[in-house]
Amino acid sequence: MERSFIARLSGVDVSGRKTYDLVDEPTGDDYRALLVCARAQCDTAVLSLDTDRDLDPAGQEILDRLATQLRSENRSGHVRLLRYEFSQACIDVLAEVPGLFAWRQPGLPENLCLLRPDGSPWIVSIAADRIGYVEFTPFEKLLLGRAAPGLAAVLAHQGARDAVLAAFERRLEDAADALEADLLVYTRALAGEGREGIVAAVHDWLVSGELLRVGAAVHVVARLGLTELEPDLAHLAEQLRRDQLPGPSVYRSSPVLRERWRIRFDRRLTEAIAVLQTIRSG
C-alpha cells in the first residue's frame, strides 16, 4: 500500500503531514494506546487476506467477530482487502492482538492499516517486513505525545538519521540471529569433546567489549548451559545496572535507540542468568 498511491486515491492535500517510521514495533500497552489515539482521527480499519493461503482458526475467529463492522470488501488478484468501521467494537477486537506486526497470515489477517475519513492513511503496516509508518500533522503528533508519550518516543521522521539507523539495527539483529543459530550448531557438535575449549572461547567473546560478539556469547552461554561463565554474566549485569556498559557508540546521540538496545540486552542477559541459576540449583 504505497504512500503516493494512497494520496492520489484520497485526493487530499497531505503537504502539511510528515511521515514517521516506527523505530520499534508497538506492542502491549503501546499498541493499545495507538488504537485508542487513532479513534479520534480514523474511521476505517483495513486488513488483507491472501486467498492462496489458508487462515488459522484463530484468525478466522477474528474475522467472524469483526463481521458486523465490515463496510466493504475488494479483490485484486488473490488478495482480499477488508475495510471495517473503526468503532469501539472494532478496537476491542483489534486490541486483543499482542502487537502491530502480529497481523500476519496464517495466524491472523494481514497488515493492519488505519485511515482517516478522507481516505488518507494515519498508520500503515507491512507486518511480514516489520515495517510501520504514520502520517501526522505537527498537531496530531503533539496530541499523540500527550496521550501516549512512550509511543511518540519511538517515532522518527522518515529518512532522518534515527529512522535509517533503526532499519540498519533490525537488519543487523536478523543477521545476528542467523549467526547465533550457526554458532549453536557448531558448539553443540563439539560439546562432548571440547567443553573446556568452548568455555574459554565464549569467555573471550564475553569480555571482548564488542557488543555483537558479547550478545552472541550470552545466547550461547544460555543455550549450552555454560554455568562456568555465570560470574561473567553477573559482571555484565552489574555493569549494565551501573550504566557502565555503553550501548553501540552510534546510538549515543539517540535516546530512543540507546534505550531500545539497553532493554533488549538486559532482557537477554536476565534470561541467561535465570537459566544458569536453574541449572545450578537443580
pLDDT digits (tens, 9 = 90+) for 31-90: 898 898 888 889 999 999 998 889 999 999 999 999 999 999 988 788 899 999 999 999
Q: Encode burial over 157-189: b for 16+ CB neighbours within 10 A, e otherwise.
A: eeeeebbebbeebbeeeeeeeeebeebeeebee
Angstrom distances, CA of residue 27 to CA of 10, 24, 228: 29, 9, 36
For 85, which DSSP code? Answer: E
Query: What whole-number distance in Å separates Cα of residue 215 and Cα of residue 108?
Result: 32
Q: Give the residue among 179, 176, 46 at the shortest CA–CA distance from 103.
A: 46
Phi, psi torsion values for 57, nearest 5 degrees: -55, -40
Grid cell in block for residue 231: 560470574
CB–CB of 234/240 below 8 Å?
Answer: no
pLDDT digits (tens, 9 = 90+) for 195-229: 899 999 999 999 998 888 999 999 999 999 999 99
Q: What is the mean pLDDT of residues 109-120?
A: 90
CB–CB of 150/236 below 8 Å?
Answer: no
Least confident piece of the model among 121-125, 156-160, 214-218, 233-237 = 156-160
Residue 264 CB coordination number (10 Å): 15
Pairing of strands 110-115, 121-126: antiparallel
How many C-alpha atoms does 2 have within 13 Å on its Cβ side? 3
Residues 158, 159, 162, 166, CA torsion sign: positive
- Whether the pLDDT of residue 119 is over 60: the answer is yes
What does the pLDDT read at residue 160?
55
